[in-house]
Amino acid sequence: MGTFVNFYGDMTVAPEKLPELTERMARLWEQGGMMQVEDVNLFGKHISLLHQPEPDERADGWIWTCYNYHENDFWETFSYGPASGRLCSSKLGQLNFCRIVLASYILLEFYVEGFALTALDGDMINGEPFIGWLNYIFDEQYTNQRESGLWAAPILKAGTPVSKEILSSPWSVVEPLPTEKFIHRTGDARAYLWTPDGDVKFSPAMRLWLAELRRKLDIHLDREGELFPPQKLVERLVSALDTIQRKGRYVFAFRDMFYEFLARSTERPIQAAVLLLEDLAAAEIDNHKATLEGRRLMAVLFNKALRGEVLGF
């Protein structure tokens, strides 16, 4: 049992279109929260690190993902082949992992030649929200032609050719749909994507939380003397992340942040940030709050623009 995507038509993409399709697929996955998880075992501890999906040379360069940040859950592998433009998916849920998979297939529809249609468990879907989101993140002018009943119904119901009249009919551009509305996640939950001039906006409550985070960091920075020996940073960081990961639901650090902290182990702000992680690890809070606080803190420490804005380093 499960939910599955059906793609009707030929997935062949012209070679000259592949670079743009691959670039757009990467942005779609980034904005949609598709990630890979890398496991690290050190000092008898186990942690998982998030990063953007990358080509897997062991799989002929295919790019895969099985985790969605916004849903905070794992599903069966979904993959994209940059050399061919093909997509391959298996069992899905019904939330954001599924939404991004469907959006990926609908994006592919605009790059293949001839008929193409995405369905869910064999049933037609309302493609306009997906096309609206594509128009938003790519500043495009995609219409609803490919997702219309006139285009789809003859194929799904009778397997008959689509007439020239249908193909040449005028279609309206789908109104752009902001990411926040498409994935049903506020800016607070998308802090890892924040940029000074971007579309991630924080609530007053989030801004208060960020101000409090800065206050806590300053307390550590103002302490007398060395915060701790630099050679101890790796062990303390791993220990804190391991504890946080076990206290909350899928509270993962980002890979770039982890290795940046290792490379800057002698710097006082980095050490103070590790102390913030230790504070969270020691806090007596329930699973829900540990998840919320942990994911927020990981996002701030990963996002260099936001970290600089809030924490000053």
Q: Any idea where the domains of the chain sit in the sequence?
A: 5-183, 187-311
pLDDT computed for residue 145 by the predictor? 77
pLDDT computed for residue 172 by the predictor? 87
pLDDT computed for residue 165 by the predictor? 52
Residue 142 predicted with pLDDT over 80: yes
* 292, 244 contact by CB (below 8 A): no
Which pTM was predicted? Answer: 0.92
Q: In what order do the strands lie in the sheet with 116-120?
A: 5-9, 116-120, 123-124
The 10s digit of each residue's pLDDT in 70-120 is 999 999 999 999 999 999 999 999 999 999 999 999 999 999 988 888 999
pLDDT computed for residue 157 by the predictor? 41
pLDDT computed for residue 170 by the predictor? 63
Q: How confident is the model at residue 1 (pLDDT cuts 50, 70, 90)?
A: low
The 10s digit of each residue's pLDDT in 298-309 is 999 999 999 999
pLDDT computed for residue 146 by the predictor? 63
CA distances in angstroms from 87 to 61, 77, 101, 108, 119, listed in the order given:
13, 11, 9, 8, 14
Q: Are strands 34-42 and 73-81 parallel, antiparallel or unpaired?
A: unpaired
Please list the residues that pair with 7 across neighbouring strands.
Answer: 118
The 10s digit of each residue's pLDDT in 238-282 is 999 999 999 999 999 999 999 999 999 999 999 999 999 999 999
Closest CA to 72 of 302, 288, 311: 288
Percentage of the chain modeled with pLDDT above 90: 86
pLDDT computed for residue 160 by the predictor? 42
Residue 237 predicted with pLDDT over 70: yes
The 10s digit of each residue's pLDDT in 144-190 is 876 554 445 444 443 444 455 545 556 789 999 999 999 999 999 99
CA distances in angstroms from 113 to 11, 22, 103, 238, 247, listed in the order given:
8, 17, 18, 50, 49
Measure the CA–CA gap between 132 and 116, rounded to whole angstroms: 18
- Return the axis-axis angle of helices 268-282 and 255-263, rounded to nearest 10°: 130
pLDDT computed for residue 110 by the predictor? 94
pLDDT computed for residue 147 by the predictor? 56
What's CA 53's distance to the chain center, in Å?
Answer: 9
